[in-house]
Amino acid sequence: MAKQTINIGASANDGTGDQLRTAFDKINDNFDESYSFINQDGNSDLVIDPTGAYANIKINNNSLIVSTSKTPASSIGASGDKQGMIAWDNDYIYVCIADYDGSTAIWRRSSAVTW
């Protein structure tokens, strides 16, 4: 099912938007679809398998797969870098140890080990 958008009309209370029942039916349908992707028993794996422009991350069972490498801009990082981020290239694995503040070195690197 595609996302259902509520028609809010051209202006407030002009009568051209969805009726309340129709609007809440769309809300329920959207939530039902969202919840169908979440395992609610708490004991199973969470699978994130996006499509489209951001289809580069998948978590399944005990593996994390990131299909696009990234090399940090510098050891200081760049706007948007957050603590806990992981990046890599052919030579190094990088870990971001703090949120970007523009002045502190927040990325640490380790040589990538080959087997």
Rounded Cα gap, residues 107 and 83, in angstroms: 9
CA distances 25 to 1, 5, 19, 34, 38, Å, are 14, 11, 10, 14, 20
For residue range 46-77, what is the model confidence (pLDDT) as tens digits?
555 566 655 667 667 777 777 777 788 889 99
Question: pTM score, two decimals?
Answer: 0.48
pLDDT, average across residues 77-93: 88
For residue range 9-31, what is the model confidence (pLDDT) as tens digits?
999 989 999 999 999 999 999 88
pLDDT at 34: 79
